[in-house]
Structure 1
Amino acid sequence: MTRTRHLLQAHDGHALAAYCHEPQQAPRATVVIAPAMAVPQSFYADFAAFLARQGYRTWTFDYRGMGESRNGAMRGCKADISDWVARDYDAVVLHASRAQEGLPLFVLGHSLGGQTAPLLPSAARVTGLVNIAVGSGAVRHNQPAVRRQAPLLWHVLTPLLCRLFGYFPGRRIGILGDIPRGAMEQWRSWCLTPDYLLTGEPGAREAYARAPYPVLALTFSDDELLLEAGSRMLHDAYRTAPVDYRVIAPQQFGQRRIGHFGFFKPHQETALWPLVSEWLAQRATTDACA
């Protein structure tokens, strides 16, 4: 497996840092990993290397203003989530598609990266979607401890700090991480809407309903952030696509904890990661035979 850094261009010319994990053998399919909110692509490097060892050409990337795609002061980054999806995420998917030599193209989204996948302009190029810990971020779908903190975050800290700093300074206060003002304010709007982006983002429910690709959804019973009800609500919005929805309890795999982020920990290579690689293998074979 080889790992190569690339500077890709978003649809508006913005430079995006990305890494391609290339298998030693001829690739059987391509996978693009889309990050969660405020999570850098480096968090997914071990999992991307695992997929490459299984024969998948795997791309990771950072949205503009985040991780290695941050250029200059965060205050100067005017991006919102719509920019991340339509200009950045979509550009990486198209680049991977053009470089894939006719191979099936899969998207794997963690949290925000899976929530927004149906909004991709290039969704028709996607062979399948893998959702990891993807659910609704609406306050009513937060775990109780998170729900108790939500009024402070959404009604006090976000509006106050975004006006004061020009971005959300999450690193300073130990909440999430630094996030561009536009992205944080758009996310706030979704989270204060009962059905999250399905009603908070124009056209989102319709995009979910017409998504044509199969979906594998892995939801974790001990997710410390999101309730299962919110995950089911989002996945029930897929009307055309078949959804393989699985609720994973840590005890099923002899573990004490998985949570919202634990799937990507290196020790999951023999426990949880094969759930994805096996599903990809099945879908890649089906697509190749179609």
Structure 2
Amino acid sequence: MDRPTALVPRHHIAIGGRGPEDVVADGRGRVLTGVDDGRILRLSGLTDPAAARVETLAETGGRPLGLELLPDGDLLVCDAERGLLRIGLDDGVVRVLADSVAGEPLRFCSNAVALSDGSVCFTVSSRRHPLAHWIGEVVEHTGTGRLLRLPPGGGAPEVLLEELQFANGLAPAADESFLLVAETGACRLTRYWLTGPRAGRADPFAEDLPGMPDNLWRDRKDGPVWVALAGPRVPPLDLLHRTPPAVRRVAARAAVRAPYRPTGRIGVLAMDDEGRTVHHLTRRRSAFRMVTSVCEADGHLILGSIRERGVAVCEPPAAT
């Protein structure tokens, strides 16, 4: 699919917190998210603003980013300050699964997936810039992102892949033969092979995306991978990434000090396991900005944003 179609909003739902960076849907059409004060929220009734309900399920004590629902009903949380967490949604108990890698504190943990063998794979966006200075990582282009794996039953995380440009969202193939890793700073999806003759290797899956990919989400094994585009391509930034590291460092320091104003152009993609674009939805003048996540719930698309104080409910894409 080459030509994008319209991303049609229905309404926004305020959630009593700022920055629902990731949104994931459960089997009952409810949406879970985390906000900047550390709370994990469950949202229901989103298709009717008058009936929408917000529940607080737990508090991480940090800044929750990527979420992953587990088969037993618990929740994996990538917390930018505390590391990889597991939360019991019935009792709100928070357990730290990993907070360091080879003695280095685990910071800017971004997104996670649980695999059928009991292992958990997760990303670290940057080893140089914290979440508060994420724009510095985008500008400096350090390539210090990582893909890590926590073995079944726990233990020390192992590094699967390094030198990623702002490693972010994760999603498995339908048969779990590979993982897709969003590299926000490179506007691409990278494939890391889990099984077969290429196991342990990585290759490009989708390059030159029309925007910066953030969180990935997949519902059914036969459904597409949804890709949130946190911002459009910026040609001057692409040129800056080709300059020497010293130039990028100076530019990053300036970017961190300057106020960031996201554009009103937003978009999401849906892709199949062959790398084909199933849907490309965009909106040029959106009041809801910097879309960092997308999921399907109750027959609608739900958008999250690290900047907004709520979620956006949009029309589903037309059948292809």
On whether the aligned pair clears a TM of 0.5, the verdict is no
- Normalising by the smaller structure, the TM-score range is 0.3 to 0.5
More strand by percentage: 2
Indicate the structure with greater helix content.
1
Could you state the TM-score of these two structures normalised by the residue count of structure 1? 0.32
Report the TM-score when normalising by structure 2. Answer: 0.30
